[in-house]
Amino acid sequence: MSDSLDQATQDRLVEAAKRAATRAYAPYSKFQVGAALLLSDGQIVEGANIENASYPAGICAERSAAAIAINQGRRDFIAIAVIGPPVEPITPCGICRQFLSEFNKNMPVLCCGRDGRVQATTLAALLPGAFDQEQLEQAG
């Protein structure tokens, strides 16, 4: 798994992501996703995907968890776990990768499958060359 997270922390994140997935609102796709975001003090914020009949109005589990943390005044994201219904581990979508990279480009990501497999990676590996504030400043 991830070298930067001990096994107990990884296990806590995976269990929290599983719990969050049970609260997903996915009446259209039936693709329930849960995410668990680790903050610097060890707190875990859970999020689930929320669909809407107007598909673009939905929100992914990863951004749901991040929005909760941000609304609590937190931006100190350390790691995230994500799980969906497939047996194989899933990864965050492109929008979530870009969104999360705003807060920690090197964040460990635990990609979980329903069969218990966990593949550890990082946002930097999932989204090389992420667009960032530095590029905005260069343009101005």
* Domain-embedded: residue 1: no
Tell me how far apart the alpha carbons of residues 32 and 42 are, in angstroms, rounded to a whole number. Answer: 25
CATH number, domain of 108, equals: 3.40.140.10
* Domain-embedded: residue 106: yes
Q: How many domains does the chain have?
A: 1
* Domain-embedded: residue 79: yes
* Domain-embedded: residue 82: yes
In what order do the strands lie in the sheet containing 77-83? 44-48, 34-39, 77-83, 108-112, 118-122
Digit-coded pLDDT (tens) for 26-67:
999 999 999 999 999 999 999 999 999 999 999 999 999 999
* Domain-embedded: residue 115: yes
Q: Which domain holds residue 130?
A: 7-139
* Domain-embedded: residue 2: no
Asked about 134 being catalytic, the answer comes back as: no
Neighbours of 121 (CB within 10 A): 16
Tens digit of each residue's pLDDT, the chain (140 residues):
456 899 999 999 999 999 999 999 999 999 999 999 999 999 999 999 999 999 999 999 999 999 999 999 999 999 999 999 999 999 999 999 999 999 999 999 999 999 999 999 999 999 999 988 888 888 76
Residue of 15, 62, 134, 137 marked active site: 62
* Domain-embedded: residue 107: yes
